[in-house]
Structure 1
Amino acid sequence: MFEQDILNKANSYMETFHYDDVSGHDIAHVNRVTKLAEYIASNEQKGHLLTIQLASILHDTIDEKIAKPKEAKARLINFFAELNLSQTLQESILHIIENMSYKNGANNNTKLSIEGQIVRDADRLDAMGAIGIARTFQFAGHFGEPMWVENQDHNIMQETNQNYNDWPPSAIKHFFEKLLKLKTLMHTKTAKNLAQQRHDYMQDFVQTFFKEWYFKY
């Protein structure tokens, strides 16, 4: 099977899986991650492109946040068989998508191939910046979490020893427990450069959010 046919089938599989998603893990998210990964690979001149593309396209199809992992993995393996992918390629893709998620930092030290590093960078970049902000509030709303719970004050950005795990769930909490940490977790130089601007934008947003939430006159 030609590579473009494989990619077309993978896209169809992905679109069927994500077609009604409203959690922020939708088709548009996957398309952005794929474009970012392709850009990083091109800029870095590293990695096997088909592995990067397939891992990007399929990266959320076994994500426990939106799927039952064991059942989803079995379906994905069956799909790989339909594509006649080599065992090596299947194993490479599965290792990437099973180990790229943040999972409260648990996967940060997992060793990934250069292809895995590129796809992880791309996925994390889409959790940052303006898109990352929008996705965070979309995700929180989908799972019934508030924007913010008033358990801290507006000087929070200057605090260095906050125990964020003790805070009630909220969209803003997610910035502190994950999103504002992503800048330092990028693998590639290309992603590090992109992450800086997105990080600064998020930080400005959170500071402005607290100024407006705790408005004083």
Structure 2
Amino acid sequence: MTDETVLAAVRQFSQSKMGNDETGHGFDHIQRVVGLADRIGQSYPDADRLETLTAAYLHDVIDEKLVADTAAASEEVRQFLVGQGFTTTQIDTIFLIMDNMSYHKTLDGTAKPLPLEGQIVQDADRLDAIGAIGISRAIYFGGHFGEKIYDPAVKPRTEMTHAEYRNLNNETIINHFYEKLLTLKDLMNTTAAKQLAEHRQQVMLDFLAEYKAEWNAEA
């Protein structure tokens, strides 16, 4: 099979798993991450495109915040990849990326170093969490889980543990920008992603300034 044939199958598998998501991690998000990863990857010809885009398509299929049984989900993905002819080495690389690219891994210090392919996917995923799309996804995610939009008396949390990060009872949607989203620009791995992140960062800063001005009836 050609790489494009394999990627078409991977795309279909991902869509079957993420197509009904209602948290902001649906297949539209997957497609944007894949597109960004492909765009960033053009600047890094040494990166394996098949491994990069496969990890981009599948990165949320085994995410702990979206899947009740991550072990079962991981085994299903592994068997799918075997069926598509991926080698053991390729599968190990794809899982290394998926298992270590999430933001929460940076909080507990358990993340393993990512290969170039993983750095590209991580950057693409983080880019989709910021900017105009990131604003809408943050509000959509928070609304899905019943988060309060904003409360000036509730200050953004700092130095969170993994457990604290997952505790949405102690978070507001606006605070999420300060606790995570505004930090992502400086966590980008690749030069290409860093350049894209600059504009998206400013979009968020402008939004927050306008939001607070309107909240205080100043605008």
For normalisation by structure 2, the TM-score amounts to 0.89
Q: 1:109 to 1:90 in 2, by over 3 A?
A: closer
Map 1:199-210; keep pairs closer than 5 Å: 199-210=201-212
Does the CA-based 8 Å contact 1:129-1:197 persist in structure 2? yes
Does the CA-based 8 Å contact 2:120-2:190 persist in structure 1? yes
Q: 1:191 to 1:20 in 2, by over 3 A?
A: same
Rounded to whole Å, the distance in 1 between the matches of 2:92 and 2:111 is 19
Rounded to whole Å, the distance in 2 between the matches of 1:2 and 1:136 is 37
What do residues 86-126 of structure 1 show as CA deviations (whole Å, max 9, x unaligned)?
Answer: 00000000000111110173369631100000000000000
Unaligned runs of 5+ in 2: none
What do residues 134-157 of structure 1 show as CA deviations (whole Å, max 9, x unaligned)?
Answer: 0000000111112112315xxx8x
Map 1:10-89; keep pairs closer than 5 Å: 10-67=10-67, 68-89=69-90
Q: 1:71 to 1:177 in 2, by over 3 A?
A: same
What displacement does 1:131 show? 0.1
Q: Between the two proteins, what is the percent identity of the paired residues? A: 36
For normalisation by structure 1, the TM-score amounts to 0.90
4+ runs deviating over 4 angstroms: 162-167
Q: Which amino acid aligns with 2:215?
A: W
**Residue 102 of structure 1 pairs with residue 103 of structure 2:** yes
Partner residue in 1 for 2:128: 126
Rounded to whole Å, the distance in 1 between the matches of 2:45 and 2:95 is 23
Partner residue in 1 for 2:200: 198
Rounded to whole Å, the distance in 2 between the matches of 1:48 and 1:145 is 39
What do residues 178-206 of structure 1 show as CA deviations (whole Å, max 9, x unaligned)?
Answer: 10000100010000000011011101111
What do residues 156-179 of structure 1 show as CA deviations (whole Å, max 9, x unaligned)?
Answer: 8xxxxx644699321111101110
Rounded to whole Å, the distance in 2 between the matches of 1:25 and 1:126 is 10
Rounded to whole Å, the distance in 2 between the matches of 1:30 and 1:206 is 26
Unaligned runs of 5+ in 1: 157-161
Does the CA-based 8 Å contact 1:44-1:190 persist in structure 2? no
Rounded to whole Å, the distance in 2 between the matches of 1:121 and 1:87 is 25
Rounded to whole Å, the distance in 2 between the matches of 1:14 and 1:163 is 33
More off after superposition, 27-36 vs 103-112: 103-112
Q: Cα RMSD over matched residues?
A: 2.0
Does the CA-based 8 Å contact 1:104-1:178 persist in structure 2? no
Give the match's secondary structure for 1:44.
coil
Give the match's secondary structure for 2:170.
coil
Rounded to whole Å, the distance in 2 between the matches of 1:23 and 1:30 is 13
Rounded to whole Å, the distance in 2 between the matches of 1:104 and 1:136 is 19
Match of 1:117 among 116, 119, 142: 119
Q: Which amino acid aligns with 2:203?
A: Y
Q: Which amino acid aligns with 1:123?
A: D
Match of 2:140 among 113, 138, 141: 138
Rounded to whole Å, the distance in 1 between the matches of 2:177 and 2:205 is 9
